[in-house]
Amino acid sequence: MGQAFYVTGTGTDVGKTFFSSLFMAKYAKKFGFRYWKPIQTGTISADDTTFIQKTTNLPDSFFLNPIFVYKTPASPHYAAKAEGQTIDPKLLLNLVSKERKNNTLIEGAGGVFVPITEDYLTIRAIQESNLGVIVVGSTELGTINHTLLTLEALTSRFIPVYGFYLVGPNNSLQEDNASMIQRLGGVSFLGFTNFPEQKLTSEEFISFATEHFDPNRNVIDLVINADEEL
């Protein structure tokens, strides 16, 4: 028995995919987790599933293919429209529900208010999926405001939030940022990981994740005990 969980961010390019790469590199094989990004836009320049697979050197069996894929680097509603396609929220939720009891990391597209269709926001999809959420925020200036807004949006809708995790450059603000967000946001601080100082090979990244990601097991213990937490 397993439990899928949702990774969202305080904005686009805040570090969700970096967090997901770290999680998969450290825990995928040990606990049988798979990575899934149901909606992928901007494939003309980036493909998060392929990126994580190359970064972690995990085989195909650890990845689920996206449902909706668009070349246009934009929010899902715009990307789909630009390419003459549509996104069916019911299909999305149906497929997510089938993953509920599997160990699956589900990464969202952008932040919680990104529109999936013109009248269906990401936060509604999260709410209707009834999965626990980890919020990824930045270590840098501005993260207190951005992370608190995201946490408020989730908790006010009674969406189960496991906690928040900060990623980004090492700086003098990050510990105070984490402390303030935890105190004002009322959710657990799960940890932070700073970006590596240089580009790493797959082998080096796996070693980096093993050493620097989730050293106190805050993230993995929450996720693997999700049935008791929710």
- Active-site positions read 37
One-letter amino acid for residue 210 of the chain:
T
How far lies 115's CA from each of 101, 102, 118, 156, in Å?
26, 26, 6, 19
CA distance 184 to 202: 37
Are 154 and 161 in contact by the 8 Å Cβ rule? The answer is: yes
Rounded to an integer, what is the distance from CA 58 to the centroid of its chain? 18
CB 120 within 8 A of CB 154: no
Whole-number CA gyration radius for the chain = 17
Q: Which residues pair with 165 in a beta bridge?
A: 136, 191
Retrieve residue 15's tokens.
């570090």
Pairing label, strands 132-138, 5-9: parallel
